[in-house]
Amino acid sequence: MNNRDRILLMDRSIPTRKAFNFPSSDVPKQKLPNKNILRKKISLPEISQLEIIRYFTNLSRLNFSIDSNFYPLGSCTMKYNPKINEEIASFSGFQNIHPLQDSKSTQGAIKLIKLLQEFLGEITGLKGVSLAPLAGAQGEYSGLLIARKFHSSNNNNKKNIAIIPDSAHGTNPASAAMAGFDVMTVKSDNSGNVDIEDLKKIINEKIAVFMITIPSTLGLFEPNILKITSMVHKYGGLVYADGANLNALLGLIKLNDLGVDICHSNLHKTFSTPHGGGGPGSGPVMVTEDLSDFLPSPIAKVNKASYELFTPNNSIGKINGFHGSFGILVRAYSYIKSLGSEGLKQVSKNAIINANYIQSQLKNEYSLYSDRYCMHETVLSASKQKNKAIKGLDIAKRLLDYGIHAPTMYFPQIVDEALMIEPTESESKETIDNFIETMKNINDEISNSPEIVKSSPHNLPVKRLDEAKAARNPILKR
């Protein structure tokens, strides 16, 4: 890396340099409004076109990405993002349509929405589908509003409790709080399952919704799932499945068959749309047919051979400006269509085999929270390494030196020094073998030369950052 790469745009600015010119106006000059309301000065960078391209190209090289690195970031499903999907999403017929055009002129777009609704309904068994939510957290929030509206439409306004396992992702309680629920936490037992005895103590007629991630954030399938969902139903509650880990279940089991009433799916995880460095995502919400009248707007349907968008009668309303993240929906549809029924099953099968292969090879060097076969991801603990004054964080940083992105660290919070590893089905055995060998090497380094690990990374554009300083004295712009 050249140090010039880190110079910010404003510090490169030279008056009158240009990267772009607009043509002059082709209409007769119009009278301007009172100059009091007009902008006098705006300070933006003045840079040549080449310099812009070179600056951002060089910045991009400072990133790890799926295209360049193995990226086993647990619960994020960093699988290959097929290139053909990018090409398809940029078709003029998809990119160049206005969201408020008459449906007559956008039949292809609405048809695609309808077909993707059907696919996601088929995969989860939950046939009421809205593709509107713009991210997993928005899908969650929509699902919880649906639960609220369902209970209040049955005059069950006392149902105001959301029960959530302690292993859940932080968005679950955050979304439940946004939807106005009182959040109660149920413990996990020693093998990583929901502690049924604890659940029995907590649950009562006030339960509105039970939120559970399937498989759990520990990468484990809840063996008591049918018992749990029927218990929730007995108390008149609904079961919400966080579909963040759906990559483990494609074609293996349908969420609805497990007693799930509502779920969301992150298209940027299971269905391969690019994560984009932190979005755009998409988080469709799926519900049983009984609940489909509450779905967020809009839903696509066919009416006399023509496609149209509509708002269900008891809809929770609009949760964003238009029809969802359409460009992302195109990519997800294209992905599912490429794999077909059999391909989808192979996705989950290979994701599970890859994760178990890693787990079986590393469980001597690192500890397991629970010595069971995992699903699509395995949660290792660096608790043994802790005795040598090495933290999970140090191992994560050292992996970066070997060109491998770090696993998810310190999550789930119930696991000491957690390292959550999700290889996905995209990776070859050779890549995974290299990862296993690297993890073993790092464990050797911890015994032989711990300083190397503690002071890592050594081979990256920057060393460890002073994060406290960033928060204490926030510098948020130039």
Partner 1 sequence: MSNHPYIPNTDKDINQMLSVIGVESFEKLISDLPKHLLFPKLNIGNGLTEPELYNHLNIISKENFNLDEYSLFLGAGSYKHYIPATVNSILQRGDFATAYTPYQPEAAQGTLQSGFEFQSLVSRLMGMEVTNAGMYDGPTAFAEACLMACRITKKNKIGLVNFFNPTIIEVLKSYIAYKEIEIIEIKEPKEKIPEDLACLCIQYPNFFGSIPNLDEFVNISKSSDCLSIVHTNPISLGFLKSPGEYGVDIVTAEGQPLGVPISYGGPYIGLFSCNQTHIRQMPGRIIGQTTDIDGKIAYTLTLQTREQHIRRERATSNICTSTQLIGLMVTIYLATLGPDGIKDVGNLCYQKSHYLANSLRNIKGVIIENKNEFFNEFVFSTPLRPSFLNEKLLQKKIIGGLDISNIINNGILICCTEMNTKQQIDSLVSSIQEILNDNE
How far is Cα 459 from Cα 390, in angstroms, rounded to an integer? Answer: 19
* Sheet arrangement for strand 408-409: 367-368, 378-381, 418-421, 408-409
Within 262-321, which residues bind partner 1 (CB under 8 A)?
Answer: 272, 274-282, 296, 316-321
Within 373-412, which residues bind partner 1 (CB under 8 A)?
Answer: 373, 375, 396-397, 400, 405-406, 408-409, 411
User: E strand or H helix at 163, and its extent?
Assistant: strand 161-165
Among 2, 37, 371, 451, binds partner 1 (CB under 8 A): 37
How far is Cα 291 from Cα 289, in angstroms, rounded to an integer? Answer: 5
For residue 71 the two structure tokens come to 């990226």
How far is Cα 427 from Cα 166, in angstroms, rounded to an integer? Answer: 31
Contact 265, 286 (CB under 8 A): yes
* Sheet arrangement for strand 285-287: 128-130, 285-287, 262-264, 238-242, 207-213, 161-165, 182-186
Within 325-354, which residues bind partner 1 (CB under 8 A)?
Answer: 325-328, 330, 333-334, 336-347, 349-350, 352-354
Residue 292 or 315 having the CB closest to partner 1:
315
CB of 395 to partner 1, least distance (A): 12
- Considering CB under 8 A, how many residues would be counted as binding partner 1? 197
CB of 449 to partner 1, least distance (A): 19
Q: Which amino acid is at 412?
A: P
Q: Using the rule CB under 8 A, give the single segment among 196-204, 381-389, 422-430, 445-453 that binds partner 1.
A: 422-430
How far is Cα 369 from Cα 371, in angstroms, rounded to an integer? Answer: 7
Q: Using the rule CB under 8 A, give the single segment among 21-29, 231-239, 383-391, 414-422 that binds partner 1.
A: 21-29
> Can you name the residues that pair with 188 across neighbouring β-strands?
194
Within 160-199, which residues bind partner 1 (CB under 8 A)?
Answer: 169-171, 173-180, 183
Residue 312 or 457 having the CB closest to partner 1:
457
Q: By CB under 8 A, tell whether 363 contacts partner 1.
A: no
Residue 104 or 387 having the CB closest to partner 1:
104
Residue 82 or 128 having the CB closest to partner 1:
82
Within 136-165, which residues bind partner 1 (CB under 8 A)?
Answer: 136-138, 140-141, 145, 148
Residue 278 or 387 having the CB closest to partner 1:
278
Contact 241, 263 (CB under 8 A): yes
User: Burial code of 314-337, b = ≥16 C-beta within 10 A, e = fewer?
Assistant: ebbeebeeebbbbebbbbbbbbbe
Within 80-109, which residues bind partner 1 (CB under 8 A)?
Answer: 80-82, 84, 86-88, 91-102, 104-109
Within 425-444, which residues bind partner 1 (CB under 8 A)?
Answer: 425-429
Q: Using the rule CB under 8 A, give the single segment among 199-207, 379-387, 444-452, 457-465 that binds partner 1.
A: 457-465
In the block, tokens 């218990």 appear at 231
Residue 191 or 447 having the CB closest to partner 1:
191
Beta strands 306-310 and 367-368 are unpaired
Q: By CB under 8 A, tell whether 364 contacts partner 1.
A: no
Q: Which of 276, 287, 316, 333 is nearest to 135 (CA)?
A: 276
Q: By CB under 8 A, tell whether 233 contacts partner 1.
A: no
